[in-house]
Amino acid sequence: MHQLSTIELLPPEKEYLGVVGFPIKHSLSPVFQNAALREMAKGNPSFESWEYLRIEVKPEELPELLKICRDRGFRGLNLTLPHKVEVLELLDEIDPVAAKMGAVNTVSFQNNKTIGSNTDGYGLSKGIETTLGMSLKDRPILLMGAGGAARAACVQCLEEGCSHLWIGNRSKDRLDALLEDLLASYSPDRMEGFLTGDEIPDVPGDTLLIQSTSLGLKPEDPLPVTEELLAKIEGLYDLVYGKEPTRLVRTARSMGKLAADGLTMLVHQGAKSLSIWTGEEVPVDVMLDAVKLKL
């Protein structure tokens, strides 16, 4: 793991990438990104000099880190908490979809410019497609949560043309803030919010439930939705992931529902970032195998 002081001491002969957060030691990104680079080097020896690092910096250190990485010739960076929002004001360019999401998880250094994009939505879409066989397009979506992950998910669902989007959250203030931001770019006819604990929306039977709250990170966490709601939907994608399926995923499967956790989202968002930096096709299967083995 690197800090600000050690980045300047890196040998200059390598091509560097990295994931930046505070804390960052838990990140699985180096596991699957370096596995992908090793596989890509078999067909293109130039990737033998590429290395993906784990970098821990405090929020106040982020501006200096970006400058050092740009000056040192880094190819790019992934950003995780707490940097995804704070980085916005430090960038030269921001992808329009990332701007709607209000967060950046991928930074590219090109022509002395620092460019931000967001691959979380892409990762979500590909994760749902590969594990559940579902598309967001023309699909009714019920999404739980109103934090940063929920915001990215909402934008992706609306961008891909979901037929309707219900957003549920415990906090009315956070829910209203999210809806207000979304309404700046999307039609009010396509979405509505509700408070969890109130009456469950009357959703159609082909609805996909996306769970984006932190509930499920701990084994003792309660279910973020009721079994009554689970009975109404066709499929579930839980952004929480771990060594074993979450309690919510297990419950949904026991009811005969299609259900998956967010591990595939993690890998696909990383694969999209790597393809942006390298301009090459990325071995997603190798990345997924590597992270499963690590877990």
Would you name the residues annotated as active-site residues?
84
The DSSP annotation for 143-191 comes to EE--SHHHHHHHHHHHHTT-SEEEEEES-HHHHHHHHHHHHTTS-GGGE
Note the Cα 63 to chain centre separation in Å: 22
Q: Please list the alpha-helical segments (H only) found in the chain.
A: 4-7, 29-43, 62-71, 83-86, 96-101, 120-132, 148-159, 172-183, 227-230, 247-254, 263-278, 284-294
**Residues 114/91, Cβ–Cβ less than 8 Å:** yes
Phi then psi dihedrals of residue 192, to 5 deg: -155, 155
Phi, psi dihedrals of residue 24, rounded to the nearest 5°:
-140, -5
6's tokens: 């050690």
284 in helix, strand or coil? helix
Give the integer Cα–Cα distance in Å for 60 and 193: 35
The β-bridge partners of 114 are 109
- The per-residue b/e assignment along 140-162, b for 16 or more CB within 10 angstroms, e otherwise, is bbbbbbbebbbbbbbbbbbbbeb
Separation between Cα atoms, residue 186 and residue 181, nearest integer Å: 9
Longest dimension (CA), the chain: 60
